C-alpha cells in the first residue's frame, strides 16, 4: 500500500482525499496532511499538522502538492530529499527553470520521481510521444468564465463586472503565461514540459462570459501528423480556478502506481 502525504487541504486536497478514501485511487492510504493554519483534527483518520518536520518524517512513498506555487517552491526539494516521490499540481512554478532543475537534481539524488498529472487537459500522451519526432508548433487556447478570473491579472485587463463578449487577455508564450496566471494556466506549463518547452509553446487566454465551463484546446502539428483536442471542465463551485477532473487525474496516477494493468500512458 502506498503511503501518501498531501500538502494543502483546500478544495483540491479534500477532493483528492475523498477519492482515495472511496477506493478510487488504488491501494493507497493518506497518512498525513500539511496545512498552514491549525484546525481541530482529532476526528480525522490521518494526521493533520502545521509542523513540516512531523509531516516529512512519516516515511511517505509519495507527497502530493495541492497548495499552489509558493508551497511547491517552499517544500518541493524537501519532499524529494525526505525520500518521497513528488506529485506536482502547481506546474506553472516550473516555468522558473532554475527551480525546476533543482527539483530534478533532488529527485535524481534521492532516486525518486516527479509526477505531473494531466490534470485539466487531455492528449499529453500524444504530445509526449510526438516530441520524439519533430513538432513544428503547439498552441494552447484557454477559455474560462468570468467567475474564474476574480483575484487574478485578468482584472487589470477587463472589467469582469461588465464584460459581455469573449476577450483575449493574453497572446504569447507559456513562460510568460505561467508568470501572469499562476493559478489559472498550470495547463500551459504541463503542456510545455510534455512538448517543446516554455519558450516555444504558444498560449492564448480568454475571459469568456458566454461559457460556464473551463475550456482548453490544444493544437499541435509535427512529424506524427496533426492533433486538435478540446476539453470542457466543470469548475469546483468552491474554487472555480480549478476543476474536479484535476483531483481525478491525481487518483488515476496513484491507481497506475498500484495496479497490474496501466492504460493510456
Whichever domain contains 145, its CATH number is 3.30.360.10
Residues 204, 170, single domain; the answer is yes
pLDDT at 103 over 90: yes
Q: What is the pLDDT of residues 147-163, one digit of tens each?
A: 888 888 889 999 999 99
161 & 234 share domain: yes
Domain, as residue range, for 251: 2-120+245-258
| Residue 42 pLDDT | 72
Is residue 263, in this structure, part of any structural domain at all?
Answer: no
Within this chain, do residues 102 and 10 fall inside the same structural domain, yes or no?
Answer: yes
Does the pLDDT value for residue 110 go beyond 70? Answer: yes
**Residue 142 and residue 60 share a domain:** no
Residue 120's pLDDT band (boundaries 50, 70, 90)? confident
- Classify residue 259 as exposed, middle or buried by CB count within 10 Å of its CB (0-12, 13-18, 19+): exposed
The whole-number pLDDT of residue 28 equals 96
The Cα–Cα gap between 256 and 177 comes to 31
Q: Is residue 222 part of a domain?
A: yes
Q: Which long-range contacts (CB under 8 A, 24 or more apart) does 176-180 make?
A: 176/203, 177/203, 177/205, 178/92, 178/93, 178/94, 178/95, 179/92, 179/95, 180/153
Same domain, yes or no: 48 and 133:
no
Q: Which of 69, 216, 241, 252 is catalytic?
A: 216
Q: Which residues, in sequence order, are CB contacts of 110 under 8 Å at separation 6+?
A: 80, 81, 83
In a domain, 265, yes or no: no
Say if residue 116 is in the same domain as residue 143: no
Q: Residue 10 has what pLDDT?
A: 93
In a domain, 193, yes or no: yes
Q: What is the pLDDT of residues 7-19, one digit of tens each?
A: 999 999 999 999 9
pLDDT at 242: 78
Q: Does a structural domain hold residue 171? A: yes
Kindly state the helix (H) or strand (E) to which residue 217 belongs, with its residue range. Answer: strand 214-222
Q: Which three cell numbers stand for residue 89?
A: 499540481
Q: Say yes or no: 68 and 110 in one domain.
A: yes
> Mean pLDDT lowest for which of 85-89, 120-124, 218-222?
120-124
Q: How confident is residue 182, by pLDDT bands cut at 50, 70 and 90?
A: confident
- Structural domain includes residue 264: no
In DSSP notation, 99-114 reads: HHHHHHHHHHHHT--E
Inside any domain, residue 218: yes
Residues 217 and 194 in one domain: yes
Task: Say whether 216 is catalytic.
Answer: yes
Neighbouring C-alpha atoms within 13 Å toward the C-beta of 259: 13
* The pLDDT value given to residue 263: 87
- Clarify whether residues 6 and 87 are in a common domain: yes
Flag whether pLDDT at 265 surpasses 80. no
Res 184: pLDDT = 67
Report the CATH number at residue 110: 3.40.50.720
Q: Are residues 173 and 105 in the same domain?
A: no
Cα(115)–Cα(64) distance, rounded to whole angstroms?
9
Q: What is the mean pLDDT of the segment spanning 52-60?
A: 95
Q: What is the rounded average pLDDT of the residues 57-85? A: 96
| Domain total in the chain | 2
Rounded distance between C-alpha atoms, residue 214 and residue 114, angstroms:
26
**Whether residue 152 is found in the same domain as residue 68:** no
Asked whether residue 61 is assigned to any structural domain, the reply reads: yes
pLDDT digits (tens, 9 = 90+) for 206-237: 999 999 888 999 999 999 999 999 999 887 88
Degrees (nearest 5) of the Cα angle 226, 132, 62? 105
Indicate the pLDDT class of residue 112, thresholds 50, 70 and 90.
Answer: very high
Statement to judge: residues 26 and 95 lie in one domain = yes
In the prediction, which pLDDT does 153 show? 85
235 in Cβ contact with 148 (< 8 Å): yes
**Total residue count of the chain as it appears in this document:** 265
Q: Which residue has 520524439 as its cell numbers?
A: 132
Q: How far apart are CA 120 and CA 46, in angstroms?
A: 27
Amino acid at each position: 500500500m502506498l503511503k501518501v502525504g498531501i500538502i494543502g487541504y483546500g478544495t483540491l486536497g479534500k477532493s483528492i482525499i475523498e477519492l482515495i478514501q472511496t477506493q478510487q485511487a488504488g491501494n493507497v492510504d493518506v497518512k498525513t496532511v500539511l496545512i498552514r493554519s491549525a484546525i481541530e483534527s482529532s476526528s480525522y483518520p490521518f494526521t493533520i499538522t502545521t509542523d513540516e518536520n512531523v509531516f516529512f518524517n512519516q516515511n511517505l512513498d509519495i507527497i502530493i502538492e495541492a497548495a499552489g506555487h509558493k508551497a511547491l517552491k517552499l517544500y518541493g526539494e524537501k519532499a524529494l530529499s525526505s525520500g518521497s516521490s513528488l506529485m506536482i499540481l502547481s506546474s506553472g512554478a516550473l516555468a522558473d527553470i532554475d527551480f525546476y532543475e533543482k527539483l530534478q537534481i533532488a529527485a535524481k539524488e534521492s532516486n525518486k520521481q516527479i509526477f505531473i498529472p494531466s490534470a485539466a487537459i487531455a492528449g499529453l500522451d500524444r504530445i509526449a510521444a510526438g516530441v520524439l519526432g519533430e513538432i513544428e508548433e503547439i498552441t494552447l487556447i484557454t477559455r474560462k468564465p468570468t467567475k474564474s478570473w476574480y483575484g487574478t491579472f485578468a482584472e487589470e485587463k477587463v472589467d469582469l463586472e461588465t464584460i459581455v463578449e469573449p476577450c483575449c487577455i493574453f497572446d504569447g508564450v507559456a513562460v510568460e503565461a505561467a508568470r501572469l496566471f499562476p493559478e489559472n494556466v498550470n495547463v500551459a506549463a504541463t503542456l510545455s514540459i510534455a512538448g517543446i518547452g516554455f519558450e516555444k509553446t504558444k498560449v492564448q487566454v480568454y475571459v469568456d462570459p458566454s461559457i460556464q465551463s473551463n475550456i482548453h484546446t490544444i493544437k499541435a502539428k509535427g512529424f506524427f501528423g496533426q492533433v486538435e483536442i478540446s476539453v470542457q471542465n466543470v469548475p469546483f463551485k468552491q474554487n472555480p480556478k480549478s476543476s474536479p477532473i484535476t483531483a481525478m487525474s491525481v487518483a488515476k496516477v496513484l491507481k497506475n502506481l498500484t495496479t497490474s494493468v496501466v492504460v493510456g500512458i
